[in-house]
Amino acid sequence: MTKHLGKFAFFAGLAAALVVGWLGLPAALYQRFDQPLQFSHALHTGDDVGMACEDCHGFDDDGRFSGIPTVENCTACHEDPLGESPAEQQLIERYIAPGVEIPWKVYSRQPDNAHFPHATHVVLAEIACQRCHGPHGQTDHLRPYEQNRISSYSRDVWGPSISGLGTEPWEGMKMSDCSNCHRERGVVESCLDCHK
């Protein structure tokens, strides 16, 4: 035992550091926030309702991406309750009735120093929403929003894997992810395209 104690100590240190780095770091690094309201994308885009992404996240008449829909969009359908879910009840009581905007925490919000034009990518390049947002439109509930305690960025910018190496193309919205996609498509890029 004494003979192998050195090796044991080395691997114990190795294992402890790996556990801290791979498991402890993500837990400590990201602060979790619940969304102010639960929302089922699956219900809205499913066969019963049959909405598409652009019905709520569309483009204005002048071509500008509308982003997260305002409560006015919700009011169009939910001014009166359509069902009996607690989430809809909250929507009406807390937001629609008093006319208050829902303080959504936006998973894919880019930092202030990056400018991402949806119109260029969705309309001109005809890139599907799922390319960057994955199956978000089919989710039944909103997962907690995770914010990096140091950079204050959303975890979705880095991607779910702490290694930064995603298995799906939509895992990660870093500058390198943008560049990779541009290179794959042969699109010329320059600093000022995104950093104005």
Angle, alpha carbons 131-160-170 (nearest 5°): 5
Do residues 30 and 155 lie in contact, with contact meaning Cβ atoms separated by under 8 Å? yes
> Binder to another protein among 50, 83, 99, 163 (CB under 8 A)?
163
Q: Which is nearer to another protein, 48 or 62 (CB)?
A: 62
Interatomic CA distance for residues 41 and 34, integer angstroms: 16
Judged by CB under 8 A, does residue 81 bind another protein? no
Q: Which stretch binds another protein (CB under 8 A): 32-40, 82-90, 93-101, 109-117?
A: 109-117
Rg over CA atoms, the chain = 21
> Binder to another protein among 105, 139, 153, 160 (CB under 8 A)?
153
- For residue 101, the 8-state DSSP code is P
Interatomic CA distance for residues 43 and 141, integer angstroms: 10
Please, which residues bridge with residue 71 across strands? none
> Binder to another protein among 15, 52, 77, 128 (CB under 8 A)?
15
Chain residues in the site for another protein (CB under 8 A): 1-2, 5-7, 9-18, 20-22, 25, 29, 64, 111-113, 115, 148, 150-153, 158, 162-164, 192, 196
